[in-house]
Amino acid sequence: MGMEQWLAFVSATLILFLIPGPDMVLVAGWSARKGFRMGLEAATGTVSGLLVHTTATAMGLAALLAASASAFTVLKWVGSIYLVWLGIMKLKNGEHTTSIDKPRRASSPFLQAFCTNLLNPKVILFFLAFLPHFVDPAIDVKVQFIQLGLAFTLLSSLCYLIFIAITVKAGEALGKSRRARQLGRWLSGTVMIGFGVRLAMASHQ
C-alpha cells in the first residue's frame, strides 16, 4: 500500500478502536478493579483472539465460516451465552473476587478476553469486510491479509496500553468509594449482558 492507504488504514483502525465493545468492557473492568497487570492480561487475550482471526482470514477459513449460516448461528449463540454468563458473574461478585496471584483458570482475564473475542462471529465478518479494502489483488492476497492483520493487532495493542493506563488511574480514584465500585460492577455486568443479547439477535447477513 502507498502512504495514503496506510494513513487511511491507521485512521480507520483508531476510529474502530474507540467504538465500545465487550473486549473493551472486559479490559476496563480488570484494569479498574485489579490494576495494570490484570488489564494487560485481558488485553493480551483480546489481541491473541485477533491473531487467530487474522490467520483464519488469511487461510480462507473465516470466509468459509461466514458463508455457513449454520456455523455462524452456532458460534453466535455460544458467544452470546458466554457474554451473558460473564455479565451475570460480574453482577454477582465482580471479577470473581479471585486472588491476583492465583486466579482461577476459568476466571483469568486472558481466558475471558480470548474467548470473548474468539467466539464473536461479528469479528470474523469485520475482518472480511474491512481488510479487503486495503488489499491489492495483483499481489499475494494471503500475505497481505497477514500483514494487515498484524498491523491492526499492533495498533490495537498500543491503544490498549494507553486505555489501560487511563482506566487504572480512574479505578484508583474511584476505588476509594464503595458506591462507585458497586456502580461500576453493576454497569459492566449489565453492559456485558446487553452485548450478549445484541449478539444473539445479530443477523448472518
- 181-205 tens-digit pLDDT: 677 778 878 888 888 888 888 776 5
The DSSP string of 99-114 is -SSS--GGG-HHHHHH
Q: Where are the alpha helices (DSSP H) in 60-205?
A: 61-67, 69-93, 109-118, 121-130, 141-174, 178-200
Find the distance separating the first CA and the last CA of the chain, reported in whole Å: 29
Indicate if the pLDDT at residue 94 is higher than 60.
Answer: no
Q: What's the pLDDT tens digit per position in 6-38?
A: 888 888 888 888 888 889 989 998 998 888 999
pLDDT at 84: 92
Buried b (16+ CB within 10 A) or exposed e, 136-171: eeeeeeeebbbbbbebbbebbeebbeebbeebbeeb
